[in-house]
Structure 1
Amino acid sequence: MTITNQKTAPNGIDTQALQDTLDAVRKQPELAQVTFGIDCEWLGGCHQRSTTADVVQNGAPVRTTRFTMESDEPEALLGTDHAPNPGEYVLQALAGCYAATFAAQATVRGIELETLRLEMETDFDLQGFLGIDQRVRPGAQAIRVVVHATASNASGEDLQALVEAVEAHSPIRDTLANPVPVTTTLAR
């Protein structure tokens, strides 16, 4: 993933909108409560299609536009290879969140990113998914991210501090790095 800053606002972030958001959430912490959702339909085998639901902030919809996503698995992993697999979507979710967090955190710090590229990989051990070895967790074994960032108004130390701020404040990284309650209910 490569992002090149071509907007007139630093990092493509409207600094006044960022400040207004910070001020609003400080005054009304309930505005920080946001819910995302999808509705997923199985298409057979490992192939599925999801449609986004409303994005809700503090109980009110703030985006009602719908987007469609599909996932599948490569043939070697029992799929038909019609779409990216869920593991790639996990990396995409992290990449998207990192990009947004880099832009916002850089703007707060006065760093004007010229480029940002993220190389990402994740490893799975299929023994857990297939139930072959109960000692092997079915989830990702590791996620690796290499950040390539340039900013002529920032030193290497500034960029390293930015990377650390992104790690500390990325919601998706936090979701992946820390246990999150997941409740699965059969509708009847």
Structure 2
Amino acid sequence: MAIEKFEAVVENVAGLKVSCKSRDFEFILDEPKNLGGTDTGMNPVEALLNSLGACKVIVAKSFARLHKIKLKNIRIELEGELDPDGFMGKNPNAKIGFSKITTNFFIEADNTDEEIANFVDFINRTCPVADTIENGPEMISNIIK
């Protein structure tokens, strides 16, 4: 199968508020007031957690039948730990991004605990967003005038 490319365009709206666009979709990201924003949208790290959770739910829904999981419902709650002193430059020893991400799966299915645990392992191994976080891609930055 050919490599698929996904694109995003992010532009400043005002202050720390940004518009995020892909295909025909758009959403706003901002920072909370205590971090200098206007609190009109999630901040980027919250969006990252939501993207990770959404990816895991989509993987679960897409592969449940193949894995003989009788999935009735799935909810995922995520928590990321981040020390703002890292990206603010206040503590050179603090990690800039998340130091830990915890995913809590709430799965309602007519399966054994072992079957569900094996399925969660599969979800974590198969989620493209999780793989991108765990095994960082090559990052290229171009300056275009």
- Decide: shared fold, TM above 0.5: yes
Structure with larger Rg: 1
Structure 1 runs of 4+ off > 2 angstroms? none
Higher relative contact order (CA 8 A, sep 6+): 1
TM-score, normalization by structure 1: 0.74
Letter in 1 for 2:49: L
In the other structure, the counterpart of 2:35 is 77
Tell me how far 1:91 sits from its aligned partner: 0.9
In the other structure, the counterpart of 1:37 is 7
Give the CA RMSD over aligned residues.
Answer: 1.1
In the other structure, the counterpart of 1:110 is 68
The answer on 1:180 being equivalent to 2:133 is no
TM-score, normalization by structure 2: 0.94
- What CA deviation, in whole Å up to 9, does each residue of 1:7-42 have, x standing for no partner? xxxxxxxxxxxxxxxxxxxxxx32xx2211111110
Stretches of structure 2 lacking an aligned partner (at least 5 in a row): none
What SS does structure 2 have at the residue aligned with 1:183? Answer: coil
Letter in 1 for 2:58: A
Structure 1 Cα separation of the partners of residues 45 and 76 of structure 2: 16
Structure 2 Cα separation of the partners of residues 117 and 90 of structure 1: 17
Task: Kindly indicate whether the alpha-carbon contact (under 8 Å) linking 1:105 and 1:162 is maintained by their aligned counterparts in 2.
Answer: no
| Count of aligned pairs between the two proteins | 145
Tell me how far 1:179 sits from its aligned partner: 2.1
| Greater helix share, structure number | 1
Identity of aligned residues (%): 25
Structure 2 Cα separation of the partners of residues 139 and 181 of structure 1: 17
Structure 2 Cα separation of the partners of residues 89 and 98 of structure 1: 14
The answer on 1:164 being equivalent to 2:134 is no
Task: Note the 1:58-69 alignment, pairs <5 A.
Answer: 66-69=24-27
Tell me how far 1:44 sits from its aligned partner: 2.4
Task: Note the 1:150-161 alignment, pairs <5 A.
Answer: 150-152=108-110, 154-161=111-118
Structure 2 Cα separation of the partners of residues 35 and 42 of structure 1: 23
What SS does structure 2 have at the residue aligned with 1:107? Answer: coil
The answer on 1:122 being equivalent to 2:80 is yes
Stretches of structure 1 lacking an aligned partner (at least 5 in a row): 1-28, 54-65
What SS does structure 1 have at the residue aligned with 2:64? Answer: helix
In the other structure, the counterpart of 1:145 is 103
What SS does structure 2 have at the residue aligned with 1:102? Answer: helix
Task: Kindly indicate whether the alpha-carbon contact (under 8 Å) linking 1:40 and 1:48 is maintained by their aligned counterparts in 2.
Answer: yes
